[in-house]
Amino acid sequence: MANETVLNKRPEEATLVQTERTRSRPQFFPNVDIVENAEELLVLADMPGIKAEDVDINFENGTLTLHGKVADRQPENTNYLLREYEVGDFHRSFQVSEAIDAEKIYAEYHDGVLTLHLPKTEAVKPRKIAVKTK
């Protein structure tokens, strides 16, 4: 397939960089889908259990950072028979190219999914070129 070479990583890129944790709460890395269309990139991040006001999105020096804090949903002194839902923070960062118009980035949150709209700059958007006849 033509896309296979685009998705293959070079050996030096395949190594994950280990970062030090400074927060005591568990940290989750939300699953994301990144979709491209002619006008923008869409980042769809699964962040269940978060209120919109607990989502923090920053863009600085070409890095887009998502952070969300999950609050404990149960009152203290609850006697759990089974507890699989963990309380913690969602955190994910991406390097964003200059092809994105940083001033026009916006986000929406609905049903546990954060949708980030990253509009492309006019210079990289596809354009139709008219053919003239003589």
User: 8-53: per-residue pLDDT in tens?
Assistant: 334 444 444 444 556 667 888 899 999 999 899 999 999 988 889 9
In a domain, 104, yes or no: yes
Reported pTM = 0.70
Does 77 fall in a domain?
no
- Supply the range of the domain harboring residue 40: 23-72+86-124
Residue 129 lies in a domain: no
Assigned token pair, 11: 């050996």
CATH number (domain holding residue 36): 2.60.40.790
Is 64 contained in some domain?
A: yes
Let me know if residue 132 belongs to a domain.
no
Q: How confident is the model at residue 54 (pLDDT cuts 50, 70, 90)?
A: very high
Question: How many structural domains does the chain have?
Answer: 1
The answer as to whether 101 is a domain residue is yes
